[in-house]
A and B are shown apart, each in its own frame.
Chain A
Amino acid sequence: MGSSKYEVVIGLEVHVQLTTQTKIFCGCSTRFGSAPNSQTCPVCLGLPGALPVLNRKVVEYAIRTGLATHCAIAPRSVFARKNYFYPDLPKGYQISQFELPICEHGHLEIETEDGGPKTIGITRIHMEEDAGKLLHGEGPEAGSSSFVDLNRACTPLLEIVSEPDMRSSDEAIAYLKKLHQIVMYLGVCDGNLEEGSFRCDANVSIRPWGQKEFGTRAELKNINSFRFIKQAIDYEVERQADILDDGGKVVQETRLFDSVTGMTRSMRGKEEAHDYRYFPDPDLVPLVVSPEWVEQVRQELPELPEAKVARFIREFGIPRYDAEVLSADRAMAEYYDATVARHGNGKLCANWVMGEVQRRLNEDGVAISDSPVTPELLAALLGRIDDNTISGKIAKTVFEEMWRSGDAPDKIIEEKGLKQVTDTGAIEQIIDEVIAANLDQVEEYRGGKDKVFGFFVGQVMKASKGKANPAAVNEMLKKKLQG
Chain B
Amino acid sequence: MELIDKTIHELHRMLIGGEVTSVALTRAFLQRIAETDNRINAFITVCEEQALKDSEAADRLIAEGKADLLTGIPVALKDIFLTAGVRTTCASKILDTFIAPYDGTAVARLKERGAVIVGKLNMDEFAMGSSNENSAFGPVKNPWDTSTVPGGSSGGSAASVAARQAVATLGTDTGGSIRQPASHCGVVGLKPTYGRVSRYGVIAYASSLDQVGPISRDVEDCAILLQAIAGYDPADSTSVDTPVPDYRAGIKDGVKGLKIGLPKEYFIEGLDPEVKAAMEAAIETYRGLGAEFVDVSLPHTDYAVASYYLIATAEASSNLARYDGVRFGVRVDQGRGLIDMFEQTRAAGFGDEVKRRIMLGTYALSSGYYDAYYLKAQKVRTLIRQDFLEAFQAVDVLLTPVAPTPAFGLGEKVSDPLQMYLSDIFTIPVNLAGTCAMSLPCGFSSAGLPIGLQLIGKPFAEQTLLRVGYAFEQATEWHRKKADL
Contacts and interface: CB of A to CB of B under 8 A. Distances in A.
Contact of A279 (B100, B238, B342, B365): B365
Contact of B235 (A53, A90, A277, A278): A53
B318 interface: yes
Contacts of A278: 365
A394 interface: no
Contact of A283 (B82, B237, B370): B237
Interface string B449-468: 00000000000000000000
B318 A49 contact: no
B324 A87 contact: yes
Main secondary structure of the interface of A (DSSP, over half): loop
Contact of B238 (A47, A93, A282): A282
Nearest 10 CB-CB pairs, A to B? A92-B321, A282-B208, A277-B365, A282-B207, A49-B201, A48-B203, A49-B82, A275-B367, A46-B322, A91-B322
B277 interface: no
Interface in B293-344: 314-315, 317-318, 320-322, 324, 326-328, 338, 342
B144 interface: no
B45 to A, nearest CB: 16
Contacts of A277: 317-318, 362, 365-367, 370
B290 interface: no
Contact of B318 (A47, A81, A87, A148): A81
B25 to A, nearest CB: 29
Given A83-B365, A277-B366, A284-B237, A51 B199 contact: yes
B208 to A, nearest CB: 4
Contacts, number: 95
Interface of B: 81-82, 88, 90, 95, 98, 100-102, 104, 199-204, 206-208, 234-238, 314-315, 317-318, 320-322, 324, 326-328, 338, 342, 362, 365-367, 370, 374
Contact of B98 (A42, A48, A50, A91): A48
Nearest to B198: A51
A54 B98 CA distance: 27
A199 to B, nearest CB: 23
A87 B340 CA distance: 13
A50 to B, nearest CB: 7
Given A48-B98, A92-B321, A148 B235 contact: no
Interface in A316-374: none
B234 A53 contact: yes
B318 A93 contact: yes
Contacts of B100: 48-49
Given A83-B365, A90-B322, A51 B235 contact: yes
A47 B328 contact: yes
A85 interface: yes
Nearest to B321: A92
A275 B199 CA distance: 29
Given A49-B202, A85-B321, A92-B321, 10 more contacts: A48-B95, A49-B104, A49-B199, A51-B235, A51-B236, A51-B237, A92-B318, A279-B315, A279-B374, A283-B238
Nearest to A86: B338
29 contacts: A46-B327, A47-B327, A48-B88, A48-B98, A48-B203, A48-B204, A49-B81, A49-B100, A49-B202, A49-B203, A51-B199, A51-B236, A52-B237, A81-B318, A87-B326, A91-B322, A92-B320, A92-B321, A92-B322, A93-B318, A277-B365, A277-B367, A279-B318, A279-B365, A279-B370, A282-B206, A282-B207, A283-B237, A285-B237
